[in-house]
Amino acid sequence: MALQRFDPPGFLDDFGPAQRDAWHQFISDALNSAQEGSGDPFDSPRAQFFNAAKVEAGPNPAFEDVKWTAFPRIVQISSGSDMERWRSADASRDVQDEYCEWSVTRQSGTNKITRVTFTCEGPEYWRFLAATDPTQTLALYKQHVDASATQADLFTPSGAYILRNRFNNSTSNGAMHLVQRNNTLGAEIEIAGAATVTRLRADGSPMVDTLELIRCGRYGAEQRHSDPFIGARVNFHARSKADVTVANPVGIYFGGLDTQEWETPDGSDPAAFWKYTRGSPERPVRAVIEVPSDRNYVLGDVLIDGRAIQFGGQIADRIQMTIRALATRIGQSTAQPVRGCVGDGAGAAGGPGGPLSVGAVLSAGDTRGRL
């Protein structure tokens, strides 16, 4: 039996019944679009990608949690030292492009870090929530970011939600959800879909190189840890002649924080300072790390590898991100590899690597009317 309903990311319970139905449809539509592909003859249709709400996953599906490091690779490879890369990554949300963004709170006077908030919630969810329940949206900002947040901080006078509002546009004034332009649920779904296309090189040999695949399939950003690796893992399953999809609930999740070789002034376990504040325990989408107020020290007094925490990026180094892929009917697919790359075909319909319809659905701004 096919999946009855896609759940919200992390099984979040912000939605009412109508919103949940709409979210299900939204994800299902996005998966359908990802299955259809861009229209390019070397990209469409994607026969090994499927929507689990339309097609039954089958018996004994294999799940894989694809994991990568939250610290942005693009910053890592363009920096010559730890200090340089931590400083760069903490400077702007726009470089935090591994589906994990963070905001740092510092102690006035000492400038020591007291708290770092991490989020991996896609913007689509928040645009939808804001469009359908502004009151709940404001309440969540007040709860998780700043109790002083007002309607005017989050919405334009005409009622449109401001994605990059003052409580969600920097690395120091709060982070409610992802805003870096490539950090979207749509991107995740599109990568998974596009990467199911197995390919042959011009000489007939199978295309297996992680970068070659992402360039040929034109999905994602090749300088990241995440996109090429997600694509490589999905393509691996596809080359194993499996059908592949993103497991319910579709989302990006925290896969854990490693606190080995952290030292606290009082010897307490720093893992206890890390709390998931949204999402289910198994599918967390928001995390906060801070030292309890009854201690006589703050997060900036904690050492990682002998160095005091001065940047959120030092913590991001230790965070794993994950999505869950589902592979089924392994060895049974009859889809044939494609000999060619997206954009190779003259006069191909559709634009390769263009924005996924998830974005189009939301940008249409009609979600309020659909409820």
Partner 1 sequence: MTDGERASLGDPFFELVLARGRFPGTTAELLAVLNESNGAPEGLPEQMVFVVAEAGQIPFNEANSRLPRSVRYVVTRGRSANGPTVLVSTRPPATDPTAFLQVAGWDSRNKVFHFYERAGDAWLWEGSSWHAFDDAARGKGPFDSHVNGTLVMKELRLPWLHWNSTAQEIPLESFPPDHPVRTDPLFAARQSADILERRVVRPAVQRWTRARLDRLLGAPGGIAAPRELLRHLLAATSVNIVSSEERSRGSKPEFGLPATFFFDVESIVNQLALDITGLGQAFQVRRPDYESAVAALGLVLKRSDAGFQQAGDAFFAWPVSERAFEDCVVVGELTRRGILSPGFALGLLMVDAWNPTDSAARESLLQYVPAGTTPAGQIEAETRRNINIAAAGLPPEAPERIAADYLTLDEAAMRTRAAAELDAFVAKVRARLATSQGVLDFMRVADWRRRDFRKRKIAEFGLTLPFSNIDENAPPLAVTRDAEVVER
Taking the complex as a whole, how short is the minimal distance between the CB of residue 236 and partner 1, in angstroms? 7
Nearer to partner 1 among residue 15 and residue 273 (C-beta): 273
CB count within 10 Å of CB 363 equals 11
Q: Which of 340, 341, 367 is nearest to 353 (CA)?
A: 341
Taking the complex as a whole, how short is the minimal distance between the CB of residue 102 and partner 1, in angstroms? 17
CB count within 10 Å of CB 79 equals 15
Nearer to partner 1 among residue 56 and residue 305 (C-beta): 305
Nearer to partner 1 among residue 170 and residue 240 (C-beta): 240
263 - beta bridge partners?
Answer: 303
Taking the C-alpha atoms of 161, 164, 169 and 174 in order, what is their torsion angle to the nearest 10 degrees? 20
Nearer to partner 1 among residue 56 and residue 209 (C-beta): 209
Cis preceding linkage at 157, omega within 30: no
Taking the complex as a whole, how short is the minimal distance between the CB of residue 213 and partner 1, in angstroms? 10
Cis preceding linkage at 45, omega within 30: yes
Rg (CA), the chain: 21
Taking the complex as a whole, how short is the minimal distance between the CB of residue 249 and partner 1, in angstroms? 22
Q: Which of 181, 215, 204, 176 is nearest to 95 (CA)?
A: 181
64 - beta bridge partners?
Answer: 325
Report the distance separating Cα 311 and Cα 288, nearest Å. Answer: 14
Taking the complex as a whole, how short is the minimal distance between the CB of residue 240 and partner 1, in angstroms? 8
- Fill in the amino acid letter for 54: K
- Fill in the amino acid letter for 319: I
Q: Which of 273, 276, 245, 248 is nearest to 259 (CA)?
A: 273
327 - beta bridge partners?
Answer: 62, 244
Nearer to partner 1 among residue 53 and residue 326 (C-beta): 326
Taking the complex as a whole, how short is the minimal distance between the CB of residue 344 and partner 1, in angstroms? 16
Taking the complex as a whole, how short is the minimal distance between the CB of residue 209 and partner 1, in angstroms? 7
Strands 199-200 and 338-339: parallel
Taking the complex as a whole, how short is the minimal distance between the CB of residue 29 and partner 1, in angstroms? 30
Catalog residues that contact partner 1 under the rule CB under 8 A.
Answer: 67-69, 73, 76-85, 205-206, 208-211, 225-226, 228-229, 232-233, 236, 239-240, 256, 258, 260-261, 269, 271, 305-306, 317-318, 320
Residue 266 three-state SS: coil
62 - beta bridge partners?
Answer: 327
Helix (H) or strand (E) holding 319: strand 319-328
Length of the chain: 371
Taking the complex as a whole, how short is the minimal distance between the CB of residue 77 and partner 1, in angstroms? 5
Nearer to partner 1 among residue 80 and residue 292 (C-beta): 80
Nearer to partner 1 among residue 163 and residue 330 (C-beta): 330
Nearer to partner 1 among residue 248 and residue 322 (C-beta): 322
Helix (H) or strand (E) holding 103: strand 101-106
Nearer to partner 1 among residue 24 and residue 85 (C-beta): 85
